[in-house]
């Protein structure tokens, strides 16, 4: 093989449709995925390839929908073989790998797959070597607890070996101290259906889901939203969650994202919200003044005046970023559930051995931090129903995973979700623990009895927690038995019995791993009210068949959850939705700081709306102004330039940003002097929040909608008088459907911006 093609880390987006939103789960199976792939083509021969060279791809994994930096010459639908031609005059492929050309593809597929690397690639008809570039550091060390030494470790993935850096260098509070079993340093544990905290006392988990690590966001989502550190700084958002009373978080993730996606750029320039704005944000409407300051985070510091956001969040890899988030939460007193999103990451089905290996690697790396070791729980397989798995398929996977993970960390708790009984007794995906053999036979349900029988003889029996998901009618689409005695009987029959009578005499703790709603539909509100009675064993809901179930994780913090919305409002992720928080206060005794004895004042009689003392309250941040040119005008670009912009219809990607699209900006130099690389390029649209997958330039940062970058490619010469042009291509995410750059600057000079006709 004389040439090689490097597949750069790709981004995957879920395409929502009316049908997919009707799936009875807050994270149902998507009807379609779309991904952006970059192919870096290297010429290893001693001769240049002039423009007009062809590249042919053949794969069974996906269909092609668009291509940039090339055009489609030929397509064979039967073999799914496509030939593209790099025909533009600047696309010379230099000899001996002196340069490379990147071709961007947009592909669509209907079944989640292990990776998007094409099986066969040929350059001008000759086969190429193809491999995946993980963009990881070349040499690494990771801290382990083996003889307190630093040893080299690697992570295996289907396409090779990924290096991993010593993640603890990224933590501002230093390396972990040795573990201790003194009060406050015991692992979270379960006995007789009750959870016990790190201090050895019974604990109630008051949790929230915050998704993002199972998507192209490569981080908990939403740090692109709003206009200040209140929403854009990770540490500040965690502080808000803590002040609202949460002591636990559930982090959905995909192994494919952790190990195969490069870490996306995070907002690092933002306006500090100030203490007053943060305090006001977590005060309920009608609350009086306060001059007291809220308790600070235990570890880490929210963004302050004059500082940048997310300064300590790693960007070297998505994996190290995930470990950082886990440790940050644990260091600040949260219990953390790691949730593998089976509905978006099918590694467990496609390659069970790899799935087990990745779980083992993740757990080994998490427990190197003693605080994380004591506070982390593993939700092994999210909603097995999403991949048509019943207990016959999910049960053995659960047991194999626990067999492999228990020796690594004998105290870690495992969360088990139900399966195979939806609409036959279970409310929705994630529910379904009915073991009554008569009901199973009558209704033709999947049978969990073999799983539980095997579990009774396992050494990790006391580590297992039952974790159903439970949603109201707007999400589960239940048409009956969702209120009153019918609801309570349904819950006790499925899982309530397990913390009262248990299985084989063993009592299991029960955690509601997901529940939530827009909380506006009358049926939802009625069911959630009766569900609250059941969880607290109140009044008629005290059926004698279950003990109280005080643990619950609300789905979700994210307002871009299509069916439930969030605990904060769209589009800026700032305003707390107190109708939902009030349900959590009354149901799981969520205890916001505002209601603690440390607060001065309390509920006011005059109808004040979350006021704070004047000395704490800053002026509200203004909308960001158009940014000035970053670089001074240079002599080589003292004239004018033209920027013609094309973008296709934006697609909706609720798990990353409301709108995503590829934009192509064709820049022409209308001056009398040629412009040679390197030169600066800047685009601005106040709604831009995200940028990735660039072609022909290198964006370096994004702030307040301005995307800054540099052009260094030697072929990107802009000849004077408009006699040549260069196409600059970028995947952008926006909070609005208008993706057109409002301004384009070339080396500090504003270009005349126009839009080409949109394709349909």
pLDDT in tens, 640-663: 899 999 887 777 654 456 788 889
Q: How confident is the model at residue 115 (pLDDT cuts 50, 70, 90)?
A: low
Residue pair 695/728 in contact (Cβ under 8 Å)? The answer is: yes
pLDDT tens figures, 40-94: 888 888 888 899 999 999 988 888 888 888 889 898 888 889 999 988 887 888 8
Whether 30 shows a pLDDT value over 60: the answer reads no
The Cα 546–Cα 497 span in angstroms is: 5
Token pair in block for residue 590: 């969520």
For 351-371, what is the mean pLDDT? 96
Do residues 425 and 475 touch, judged by C-beta distance below 8 A?
Answer: no
Are 698 and 712 a contacting pair, CB within 8 Å? yes
Which of the pair, 631 or 239, is modelled with greater confidence?
239
Q: What is the mean pLDDT of residues 624-632?
A: 41
Q: What is the tens place of the pLDDT at every residue in 122-177?
A: 999 888 888 766 433 222 222 222 222 222 222 223 333 333 333 333 344 344 44
The pLDDT mean for the chain works out to 82
**Residue 369 clears pLDDT 90, i.e. is over it:** yes
Q: pLDDT tens, 100-112?
A: 788 888 888 776 5
> What does the pLDDT read at residue 14?
55
pLDDT score recorded for residue 702: 82
Lowest mean pLDDT segment, chosen from 175-184, 435-444, 544-553: 175-184
pLDDT at residue 432, as a whole number: 96
Q: Where residue 290 falls among pLDDT bands split at 50, 70, 90? A: low
Is residue 628's pLDDT more than 80?
no
pLDDT for 149 equals 23
Of 110-119, 124-133, 446-455, 660-669, the poorest mean pLDDT is in 110-119
Is it the case that residue 113 has pLDDT exceeding 60? no
8 A C-beta contact, residue 688 and residue 702: yes
Residue 691 clears pLDDT 70, i.e. is over it:
yes
The pLDDT assigned to 165 comes to 38
pLDDT of the residue at 10: 63
**How confident is the model at residue 12, as a pLDDT?**
59
Q: What band does 423 get if pLDDT is binned at 50, 70 and 90?
A: confident
The residue-averaged pLDDT of 296-323 equals: 84
Q: Which of 122-126, 233-237, 483-487 has the lowest mean pLDDT?
A: 122-126
Among 162-171, 202-211, 415-424, the range with the most confident prediction by mean pLDDT is 202-211
Task: Give the separation between CA 33 and CA 453, rounded to whole angstroms.
Answer: 39
Task: Determine the average pLDDT of the residues in 417-441.
Answer: 92
Is 696 in contact with 726 (CB distance < 8 Å)? yes
pLDDT > 70 in the chain, percent: 80
Label residue 94 exposed, middle or buried (CB < 10 Å: 0-12, 13-18, 19+).
middle
Q: What is the pLDDT of residue 701?
A: 82
Q: Report, as an integer, the average pLDDT of 192-207.
A: 96
Order of strands across the sheet that contains 706-711 = 698-703, 706-711, 679-684, 743-746, 749-750
Q: pLDDT at position 173, please?
A: 38
Rounded Cα gap, residues 118 and 672, in angstroms: 45
Q: What is the pLDDT of residue 269?
A: 79
513 has pLDDT over 60: yes
Distance separating alpha carbons of residues 426 and 429, to the nearest angstrom: 8
Prediction pTM value: 0.76
What is the radius of gyration, based on Cα positions, of the chain? 27
């Amino acid at each position: 093989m004389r040439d090689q093609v490097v597949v750069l880390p790709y981004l995957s987006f879920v395409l929502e449709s009316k049908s997919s939103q009707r799936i009875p789960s807050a994270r149902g199976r998507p009807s379609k995925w779309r991904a952006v792939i970059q192919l870096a083509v290297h010429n290893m021969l001693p001769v240049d390839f002039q423009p007009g060279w062809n590249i042919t791809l053949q794969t069974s994994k996906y269909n092609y929908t668009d291509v940039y930096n090339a055009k489609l010459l030929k397509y064979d639908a039967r073999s799914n073989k496509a030939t593209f031609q790099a025909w533009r005059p600047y696309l010379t492929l230099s000899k001996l790998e002196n340069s490379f050309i990147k071709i961007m593809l947009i592909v669509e597929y209907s079944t989640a797959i292990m990776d998007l690397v094409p099986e066969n690639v040929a350059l001008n008809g000759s086969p190429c070597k193809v491999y995946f570039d993980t963009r990881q550091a070349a040499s690494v060390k990771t801290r382990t607890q083996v003889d307190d030494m630093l040893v080299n470790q690697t992570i295996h993935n289907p396409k090779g070996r990924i290096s991993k850096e010593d993640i603890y260098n990224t933590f501002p509070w230093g390396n972990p101290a040795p573990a201790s079993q003194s009060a406050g340093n015991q692992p979270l544990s379960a006995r007789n259906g009750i959870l016990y905290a790190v201090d050895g006392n019974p604990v109630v988990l008051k949790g929230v889901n915050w998704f993002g690590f199972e998507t192209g966001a490569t981080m908990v989502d939403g740090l692109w939203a709003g206009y200040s550190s209140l929403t854009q700084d990770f540490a500040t958002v965690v502080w808000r969650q803590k002040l609202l009373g949460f002591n636990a978080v559930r982090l959905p993730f995909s192994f494919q994202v952790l190990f195969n996606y490069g870490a996306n750029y995070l907002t690092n320039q933002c306006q500090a919200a100030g203490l007053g704005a943060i305090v006001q944000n977590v005060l309920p409407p009608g609350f009086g003044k306060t001059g007291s300051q809220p308790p600070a985070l235990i570890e880490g510091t929210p963004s302050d005046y004059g500082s940048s956001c997310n300064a300590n969040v790693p960007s070297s890899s998505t994996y190290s970023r995930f470990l950082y988030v886990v440790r940050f939460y644990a260091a600040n007193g949260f219990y953390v559930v790691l949730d593998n999103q089976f509905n978006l990451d099918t590694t467990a089905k496609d390659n069970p051995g790899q799935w087990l290996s990745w779980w083992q690697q993740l757990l080994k790396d998490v427990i190197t931090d003693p605080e994380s070791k004591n506070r982390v729980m593993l939700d092994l397989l999210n909603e097995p129903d999403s991949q048509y798995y019943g207990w016959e398929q999910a049960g053995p996977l659960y047991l194999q995973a626990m067999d492999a993970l228990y020796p690594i960390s004998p105290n870690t708790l495992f969360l088990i979700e139900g399966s195979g009984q939806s609409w036959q007794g279970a409310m929705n995906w994630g529910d379904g623990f009915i073991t009554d053999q008569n009901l199973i036979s009558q209704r033709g349900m999947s049978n969990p009895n073999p799983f539980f029988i095997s579990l009774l003889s396992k050494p990790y029996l006391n580590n297992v927690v039952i974790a159903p998901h439970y949603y109201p009618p707007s999400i589960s689409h239940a048409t009956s038995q969702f209120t009153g005695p019918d609801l309570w009987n349904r819950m006790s029959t499925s899982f309530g019995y397990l913390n009262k009578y248990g299985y084989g005499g063993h009592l299991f703790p029960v955690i509601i791993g997901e529940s939530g709603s827009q909380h506006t539909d009358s049926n939802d509100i009625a069911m959630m009210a009766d569900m609250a009675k059941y969880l607290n064993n109140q009044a008629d809901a005290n059926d004698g068949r279950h003990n109280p179930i005080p643990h619950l994780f609300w789905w979700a913090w994210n307002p871009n959850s299509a069916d439930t919305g969030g605990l904060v409002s769209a589009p800026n992720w700032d305003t707390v939705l107190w109708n939902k928080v009030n349900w959590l206060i009354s149901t799981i005794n969520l205890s916001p700081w505002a209601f603690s004895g440390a607060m001065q004042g309390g509920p006011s009689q005059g109808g004040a709306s979350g006021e704070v003392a004047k000395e704490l309250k800053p002026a509200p941040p203004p909308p960001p102004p158009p940014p000035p040119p970053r670089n001074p005008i240079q002599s080589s670009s003292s004239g004018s330039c033209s920027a013609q912009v094309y973008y296709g219809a934006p697609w909706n990607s609720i798990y990353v940003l409301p709108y995503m699209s590829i934009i192509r900006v064709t820049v022409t130099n209308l001056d009398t002097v040629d412009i040679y690389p390197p030169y600066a390029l800047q685009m601005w649209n106040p709604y831009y929040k995200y940028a990735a997958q660039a072609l022909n330039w290198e964006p370096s940062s994004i702030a307040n909608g301005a995307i800054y970058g540099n052009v260094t490619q030697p072929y990107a010469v802009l000849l004077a008088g408009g006699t040549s042009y260069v196409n600059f291509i970028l995947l952008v995410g926006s909070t609005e459907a208008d993706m057109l750059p409002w301004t384009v600057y070339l080396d500090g000079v504003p270009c005349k911006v126009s839009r080409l006709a949109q394709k349909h």
